[in-house]
Amino acid sequence: MELICPAGTPAAFREAVDAGADAVYCGFRDETNARNFPGLNFSREELGEAIAYARRKGTQTFVALNTFMRAGHESLWYEAAADAVQLGVDALILADFGLMAHVAETYPEQRLHVSVQASASNPDAVNFLVETFGARRVVLPRTLTIPDIARLARRIRCEIEVFVFGGLCVMAEGRCSLSSYATGKSPNMNGVCSPASHVRYRQDGSDLVSELGAYTINRFPRDEAAGYPTLCKGRFDIADAHGYAFEDPVSLDVMDQIDALREAGVSALKIEGRQRGKAYVAEVVATLRKALDARPEERRALLARLRLLSEGQRTTSGAYEKRWR
């Protein structure tokens, strides 16, 4: 199985390549990708240099153009696709049908991957994208169990990539407007979720309150570390219950299921985290590379190291485990 690694900066990109990534994915510095955060992403020139660096080391480069084209401004996405193709990326990761159609028609040789944001969660959906746009790989939404993936794999005609480590969307990706409901900015349209521009922390007695737009997302007593107010990871009141209504502040880790994922027919494992620093990327990629190549009995010790890296943060198998639902 390939290891697909995130890079939000040229420095993180080189670290990922050096640490043993089979492919590194990244995006341009604008709203054409779903990690459109200040200080992140690549200029055309930086992408060209990154591709050259990766190629010398035998690593592939994927470019995510995985937001939905704003009506009337499609040229921003078309130009990004043209430049990425011209720079020689190994695959484009796309979510918008209009953009998929444009790429399939204009660059029929270009390898097209279906972004998790496209929400292709069943055989008919995936085969539609394969037949209509020539998609070669699908990144599956985080809504499926491993047996679901195995069943899907037998019935589709393209490769499967799944997220195994990092941030976890609770909602079906590409179909969530929670962020824009509170802030006006969404993953689909702006490439951001719960953007920092709309985050505010305020002290209330001994509590630190985190807000997104006009809404309180969490409240931390003095002895609790304050987390970032990602909307779906907040604490809310529902009837008599209050607490983490959608998901606890956990991150995804299913590296202990590598063999099951391989047997299910998965060809690539994806690490989330383009917003992460280069030291994190280097450590995670190097460890997961070793774990992937190690014998199962050696893996446990390797993976324990990663838990230290996300110290204080709990991990989950998410939807891969049926009980999560």
- Positions that interact with other proteins (CB under 8 A): 68-72, 74, 95-99, 101-102, 118-125, 127-129, 142-144, 148, 151, 170-172, 174-178, 180-184, 186, 188-189, 209, 213-219, 232, 234-239, 241-242, 245-247, 319, 322-325
Q: Which among 249, 287, 250 has a CA at the least distance from the CA of 269?
A: 287
The total of other beta-carbon atoms located within 10 Å of residue 11's CB is 14
CB 211 within 8 A of CB 202: yes
* Residue 103 C-beta: closest distance to other proteins, Å: 11
CB 25 within 8 A of CB 65: no
Name which of 215, 291, 198, 209 is nearest 190 in CA terms. 198
**Whole-number minimum distance, CB 298 to other proteins, in Å?**
32
Q: Which residues pair with 24 in a beta bridge?
A: 5, 61
In the bound complex, what is the minimum distance in angstroms from residue 280's beta carbon to other proteins? 27
Nearer to other proteins, 212 or 291 (CB): 212
Q: Given the complex with other proteins, which of 44 and 175 has the nearer CB atom?
A: 175
- For residue 43, what are its two tokens? 């200029």
Cβ atoms of residues 3 and 281 within 8 Å: no
Query: What is residue 53's three-state secondary structure?
Result: helix
Closer to other proteins by CB, 141 or 273: give it: 141
> Least distance (Å) from other proteins to the CB of residue 124?
4
Taking CA atoms, 268 is separated from 113, 161, 197, 271, 311, in Å, by 12, 4, 34, 10, 26
**Structure tokens of 33?**
């990708």
- Nearer to other proteins by C-beta: 162 or 291? 162
Write down the least CB distance from residue 217 to other proteins, Å.
7
Q: Tell me whether residue 9 or residue 143 sits nearer to other proteins (CB atom).
A: 143
Both structure tokens of 301:
């010790």
Spatial distance between the Cα atoms of 231 and 211, rounded to a whole number of angstroms: 9
Q: Minimum Å distance from CB 109 to other proteins? A: 21
Name which of 95 and 266 has its Cβ closer to other proteins: 95
For the bound state, the minimum distance from the C-beta of residue 2 to other proteins, rounded and expressed in Å, comes to 24
Considering the complex, state which of residue 127 and residue 275 has its C-beta at the smaller distance from other proteins: 127
Report the nearest approach of other proteins to the CB of residue 89 (Å): 21
**Structure tokens of 243?**
């607490």
Integer Cα distance of 136 and 160 in angstroms: 9
Closer CB to other proteins, 59 or 143, in the complex: 143
Q: Answer yes or no: are the C-beta atoms of 140 and 316 closer than 8 Å.
A: no
